[in-house]
Structure 1
Amino acid sequence: MVSGAMARPTVSVVLTTYNRAQVLGETLRGLLGQTFRDFELLVCDDASEDGTGEVVREFARCDPRVSYLGTGSHLGMPGNLNRGIRAAVGEYIANLHDGDIYAPTLLESWKAILDRYPSAGFVFNAYAHLDARGCVRRVQRMPFDSGLVPGRRLLEDFFFRSWRFWSPVWGTAMVRRQVYDDVGLLDPRYGFLADVDLWMRIAERWDVGYVDEVLIQLPSRRTLPRQVRSAWFKELSSLWAMFWRARVRHFRGRPCRLATEALRHCVYMVESFGFWALAAAARRLYYSLLVR
């Protein structure tokens, strides 16, 4: 690990990266220009082969807040992020991605919410999705103001509401350190989707903070260097398993609701394989049971 010496910071920024040296510098400059400055920046490189290490070391030589955490073998997203979380020393831990564009007030806004609401396990914000030209294609925001959201509401009204499995939270958020002691780290079984499982596990036990401002812009993946991706069916199978386990945990004491959620779960699985008529019939059955 390459780093400079600094006092224990309030915030640890864990930035995961893999083979994105050509865009990493812009991301690092954006983070180092944050209005809130009491943080360490841990760049977790998942065995990149494109000179990522040299890019980070150059920043570390100029700013003692930057540390480079390399690894000799490819760990995948969950393993790479978990080692950064273990190395972090701040009270709050921000999980960030290479390639995304961060507003200068991101860390300040996130920290203010966690400071104000001790029951919030993590905080996230509105996002802007960019097209290949860098123009805003759409903005994803929640239907409530900045502040505290009950974890149960986030699960039932958003994570579990869509017929297609969906997460209102992308991989970028700031988590209270003690939350990891409470719910654990990312589960490697879920690969690139492990962060979604983490947000659901936190929401089962904690409330959630939200900032109703577009603080992160997500570039089109077509404009970023390609990364290793797992097979489509493997990811889909992980998604099914993850959301089903989350439903079982959340509705364990409500057997009738769990039964209807099992039907909802099956509808999406059937739709995934193109059996639309069967899925439509199951959907009608679901709503009839829910009304009762």
Structure 2
Amino acid sequence: MRIDVLSSTGGLEPHLRQEGGPDRLLQQLAARGIEAVLAQPGVPRPPTETEAEGPTALSPSEEAPPATAGLLLIGTEHPADRELLAGWLEAARAAVRHGRPVVVSGLALDVRDAPAEVLRELLAAASLVGLRDEPSVALARRLCPEHPGLHLGRDDTLDLPDPAVAPGSAPAPVPVDADAPDRVPGRTHEEAPHQAPDQAPPAIVAALERPAGPIGPEEAAPVLAALLDALVHRVPGAVAVLPCRAEDADFAAAVAAHLPRDVRRHPSAPGAAAALVGAAQHLVTTCPRAVALGLAGGADVLPVGTDTYAVERMDAVLHRWGLAGHAVPLAALLTPGDAAWDTRAAVQQWASEAVEHRAAVRSALVDAVPALRAAGERWWDTVAEALRGGRPQPPPAAVVAPRGVGAPVVRALRRRYVVPAVPPARPTVAVVLRSRGRSAQLARALDGLLAQTFTDWQLVVLDGGDDPADVDELLTARRAELAGRAAVLHHRRGLTPGAAANRGLRAGDSELVVLRDGHDEWSPTVLQRAVARLEDPLATDDGVVVPGRGPDAASPVPAAPTLTGALGGERPASGVFVYRRAVHGVLGDYDETLSAAADWEFRLRFLETFTVGLVEGPLRPVRARQGGAPGAELRRRDELLVRERHLRQWTAENGIGLPLHLSQELRTQAEGLHARLDGSEALARELLDLVRAQSARLEQLERTVAERGFAAFWRRVWRTLRGR
């Protein structure tokens, strides 16, 4: 039986492709009586001996020749892009037209930006689809809910070394010259990295992908460099910092630039990245593909996910080896919270525990190889059966039993930065979201909350709209992402904003509270920045305002909210207001008698007793203090601090009534003065227009008199001459 194979291997990841992957794929199929012909989408494949004697060979996207009996589409760890999926779809259409079975294996989907229509048609054309991770499976099942052949594919045999060389064992002796490059376990002489004869492979390898999430490369680079530096002090040997793809070279160079100068670097030649990853003792990586190659080579992998999707993909790879829950979100290293004092303490603890548990992790990897190999064999049996037109059987749900090895600090770091399997009884933040029947705005608010890097929150939706079914539908569509962290309270009768806020506060328990409306937008790091500020042991504020968007260079820098500014009519800084729930024990609830000013009135009482900070700028990888301000700015801040201190002391003794009345009186007088000034300016403009009109008329009269005077003079002259 002969089939066509379209593979994305090598097209998207030139540095971390698996050199032996296509050969092992052909071996797996050949062992099951299937002859495969490799090709690329839109590229004519080489003709077989039978086809060479007949008509000209066609590309896979064209009509397939009768000699091929099936089509196999092979993905990689990298999410399939639009161009690749479009080429696969054309090939699948041609196969379906000729009645050929279509099978997909190893497909990873970008759940953030997936072409829904192309995917839906491609999945429907395939009788068996093997997906790389749970997010890809969930997306595929949403697109094709009735498809019986969507499974979590088990094709890890393409990553595993040869059976004779398991992770952790010595390589088989091969006669080579003394001057030949060092061999890498499980790889041939030709696949060994390009290095000097006396140069051993680096003990520590960093395989890095440029961050694509809400945390930029400038924040991520020093964190990864700190983690590598922590490993260097515990593991002797050189360090190699490698890009996962060509477009990641700048980011890898930025990380290497943050390493201390005394760190010994390993020079790597182009094309040696995959071999170095497979031979590393410790692998620090932000790339799920590198996680798979490192585990297959027996490395102790320290995976850092730059966004939620990257963490999920890494966890999927680790789960297949029995090491689920070992990926650490980058956000957790930036603000470790209760797991560590700061970034440096977190990476030092992680590196120390990784080295300490190195033997246990390596043993777990060795023990997992037989089960992975057996699962891979069963998967390729299923693929072969589907390519012959049979009914594929689903693979086993569990492959490798979970092993409780690894760094305990990882569990502490992940606790508030990954979606919890079981919602905590008392989350850190309660988000009270008031909805007023605008489905589109509520959907944006929900998506903004789900995109938060900080995940230890509870959502209470207060539905004040006309149709409760609309809100329920929005929450149902996001049930998996919400993971039991949301509740909705419908109220048919009209409630004031203050009453709705109080009802939402009583619906749950938390340390911190944020009150939002359905039309408000979220920035992905708002909650993380607010929690980090309020949990700082040196912080004295009981509330913070986090701007929803980055500061505009053209607009002035906002000031922290103060009682002086609030009484003076200063407009509060726009953003998310997060505060401690305990303040309600002092201030009481929101005023339910107010219709539109309940939030303002509560903020006023808050500022009368507590202080509110302003959180600006991006996330910082280490705990740093602000530098000194210029003299004039420092004097202005000190003066404001003194006025605020005395005003708070006076209001504590006498109440806020008089300042509030005086501030309103001053605003009224100021508004009257502005109105009078506006009237005076209008009158002055009228007078100026009148003067200009009079001046124009005088000029006209002067010209007329001048002209008439000249003519009269000549008439008198003429009369005088005639009289002579």
Q: Same fold (TM over 0.5)?
A: yes
Q: Equivalents in 1 of 2:556, 2:436: separation in Å?
A: 26
Aligned residue number for residue 567 of structure 2:
160
Counterpart among 534, 542, 552 of residue 114 in structure 1: 534
Deviation string 1:10-31 (CA, Å, 9 cap, x unpaired) is 1111111111112211221110
In structure 2, the CA distance between the partners of 1:265 and 1:108, relative to structure 1 (3 Å rule), is same
Look up the SS of the partner of 2:676 in the other structure: helix
Partner of 1:276: 675
Structure 2 gap ranges (5+)? 1-420, 620-647, 680-724
| Structure 1 residue 37, shift from structure 2 partner | 0.7
Q: Measure the CA separation in 2 of the matches of 1:263 and 1:279.
A: 20
Contact 1:13 1:39 (C-alpha < 8 Å) held by counterparts: yes
Give the CA deviation at 1:253. Answer: 7.3
2:292 is matched with none
Would you say 1:52 and 2:471 are equivalent positions?
Answer: yes
- State the partner residue of 1:211: 615
What is the aligned partner in structure 2 of residue 88 from structure 1?
508
Task: Compute the TM-score of the two structures, normalised by the length of structure 1.
Answer: 0.64
Change (3 A) 1:276 1:119: same
1:155 is matched by which residue type in structure 2?
Answer: L
Show the 5 A alignment for 1:169-248: 169-170=573-574, 172-213=576-617
Give, in whole Å, the separation in 1 of the partners of 2:498 and 2:462: 11
Matched, 1:12 2:416: no
Q: Which residue identity does 2:423 align to in structure 1?
A: M
Describe how 1:63-142 pairs up with structure 2 within 5 A.
Answer: 63=482, 64-116=484-536, 119-127=540-548, 141-142=557-558
Distance 1:262 1:90, change over 3 A: closer
SS at 1:175 equivalent: strand
Is the Cα contact below 8 Å between 1:43 and 1:67 reproduced in 2? yes
Alpha-carbon spacing, 1:177–1:279, altered in 2? closer, same or farther (3 Å): farther
1:100-139 per-residue CA deviation (whole Å, 9 max, x = no partner) reads: 221110100111111125532211123559xxxxxx8x85
Q: Provide the residue aligned with 2:445 in structure 1.
A: 27
Distance 1:140 1:173, change over 3 A: farther
Q: Residue 252 in 1 paired to residue 654 in 2?
A: yes
Structure 1 counterpart of 2:460, which letter?
Answer: L
| CA displacement at 1:34 relative to structure 2 | 0.7
Moved more, 98-107 or 258-267: 258-267
Q: Please list the CA deviations of residues 116-172 of structure 1 after superposition, one character each: whole Å capped at 9, or x if unmatched.
A: 25532211123559xxxxxx8x857524xxxxx6x7xx111x2122xxx44414584
% identity of equivalent residues: 25
Which secondary structure state, in structure 1, belongs to the residue aligned with residue 616 of structure 2? strand
For these two proteins, the number of residue pairs brought into alignment is 225
Residue 70 to residue 57, structure 1, CA distance change in 2 (3 Å): farther
The aligned residue for residue 219 of structure 1 is: none
Aligned residue among 235, 256, 267 for 2:669: 267
* Structure 1 position 263, deviation (Å): 3.7
User: AA paired with 2:616?
Assistant: D
2:555 and 2:490 map into 1 onto residues whose CA distance is 34
Please report the RMSD computed on the Cα atoms of aligned residues, expressed in angstroms.
3.8
Q: Which one-letter code corresponds to 1:276 in the other structure?
A: A
AA aligned opposite 1:74: G
Three-state SS of the structure 1 residue aligned to 2:461 is strand
Tell me which amino acid in the other structure corresponds to 1:41: L
Q: TM-score scaled to structure 2, two decimals? A: 0.28
TM-superposed CA distance for 1:90, in Å, is 1.0
Letter of the 1:56 counterpart: L
CA distance in 2, matches of 1:255, 1:77: 23
Q: Helix, strand or coil for the counterpart of 1:209?
A: strand
Task: Tell me the amino acid that sits aligned with residue 12 of structure 1.
Answer: A
Q: Secondary structure at the residue paired with 1:93?
A: strand
For 2:661 and 2:462, how far apart are their aligned partners in 1? 42
Q: C-alpha displacement at 1:258, in angstroms?
A: 7.7
In structure 1, runs of 5+ residues without a counterpart are: 130-135, 144-148, 216-245, 281-292
Deviations 1:225-247 (A, max 9, x none): xxxxxxxxxxxxxxxxxxxxx9x
The separation in 1 between residues aligned to 2:476 and 2:517, in whole angstroms, is 18
| Deviation string, structure 1 residues 161-202 (Cα, Å, up to 9, x no partner) | 2xxx44414584111010111101211233222111111111
